[in-house]
Structure 1
Amino acid sequence: MELLTEFVSANQKTDIFTIGKYIEAHIAINWETLIQKHNDKLLRAFNKAGDMAYGVYLNFLFRLVHIQIKQVGLYPNPRFPGDFSISREWGNHEETNQQRWMWSTIKSIKGDSLGTIVTITFHDHNQFRIPQQPGIIALAQTDTDAVVEVLSQFSTDFKNAREFKIEYAEYLQSQN
């Protein structure tokens, strides 16, 4: 796959939508290969820590993206795939086809915000399995409330899901 610097040069612009297309292309090429390459590690992580294995997988998936983004003078805040505590998740009743939406703002070294990259991770709570390629949505919005508003327009499921930190607090409260 070409470097982000080459991709940006070929598209003659460095905007959030170009970066989103680059990340989508990277994911399309690498998402299944990384599962196969790290299958033993990911299965052990899932057996030991459950869903945290998907975080391990996403670290593998975004490692090269972080390097490429840094080389063009940008950085994600927070690191890809985003802040787990404000992410939202939903799926089927059997929990075999869940989606979690997380996001990161892309900033320049000077601190200017270009936009937001949303990562959609499809996963299974019963076994380590990623049923389909992770998705990317590029947004011009950078403010959390504006991002939530736009994503709520994209997806009713997103709109109806609660932030992880709220869902988890409710779960802990129910255990008392």
Structure 2
Amino acid sequence: MSAMKPLPQILAESEGNRIDVIAQYINEHITKNWQAIFEEKYSQLMDAYKKVGDPAYGTYLNFLFLPIHEQLKESGLKPLPRLPGDLNISREWGNTNDFTDQERWVWSVIEEENGVALGTIVTKVYHDHTQLRVPRPPEVFALTETDQADIVAALSQRSAAFRDAREFRIEAEEYMKNRDA
């Protein structure tokens, strides 16, 4: 994994909006490490994929974000929920008709130790539903909104595809109803 300057040092040296600095830091980490981590952990991920399918991508994201969690903790910051975010409220859509390039948006509010929210980190996760493959690196961007309704409104304004997609929990409930019918 590529070494980077520690986040606490970057935040101390930065004059920019802290949530934007954090997003830039995470994007730099992803750019430098997304492919290497996928390749390094491929056999574990493939084992998980064979057993549970798409939740293996969550395992990949746990590996990818582990160093970020360590840096946030050292900076006195806490993501709520854990990065990249809560699958149940995330939204997904396809960028191709064959399900080989799906896009899921998840998010976490970043709080200081005193409970003050700095903003929200949104992660775009690209994945393939036909095989274990990450077609392109995840991307991260920051929002100043921290209230759930405001976050969804901001994301809906940013992307019509997000606005038109349903929360994962709703899709899962409908799938289970239709499967059992």
TM-score where L is the length of structure 2: 0.94
Q: Deviations over 1:35-61 (max 9, x none)?
A: 111111111111111111100000000
Instruction: Select between 48-57 and 14-23 the one with higher mean Cα deviation.
Output: 14-23
What is the deviation of 1:12? 3.5
Superposed CA RMSD in Å reads 1.1
Secondary structure at the aligned position of 2:146 is classed as: coil
Taking every aligned residue pair, what percent have the same amino acid on both sides?
A: 45
Counterpart CA distance in 1 for 2:153 and 2:17 is 25
Spell out the pairing of 1:28-107 with structure 2 (5 A cutoff): 28-91=31-94, 92-107=96-111
Counterpart CA distance in 2 for 1:26 and 1:62 is 9
Give unpaired runs (5+ residues) of structure 2: none
Secondary structure at the aligned position of 2:172 is classed as: helix
Instruction: Select between 12-21 and 65-74 the one with higher mean Cα deviation.
Output: 12-21
Instruction: State the aligned residue count.
Output: 176
What is the deviation of 1:14? 6.2
Q: Is the 8 A contact 1:34 1:60 kept in 2?
A: yes
Secondary structure at the aligned position of 1:172 is classed as: helix
Q: Deviations over 1:40-92 (max 9, x none)?
A: 11111111111111000000000000010011110000000101000000002
What is the deviation of 1:100? 0.7
Partner residue, 2:117: 113
| AA at the equivalent of 1:138 | A
Counterpart CA distance in 1 for 2:15 and 2:73 is 18
Q: Is the 8 A contact 1:122 1:134 kept in 2?
A: yes
Q: Deviations over 1:84-122 (max 9, x none)?
A: 000000002211000110000000111110000001100
Q: Deviations over 1:116-139 (max 9, x none)?
A: 000110000111100001010100
Query: Among 18, 21, 41, which residue is 2:21 paired with?
Result: 18
Partner residue, 1:167: 171
Secondary structure at the aligned position of 1:29 is classed as: helix
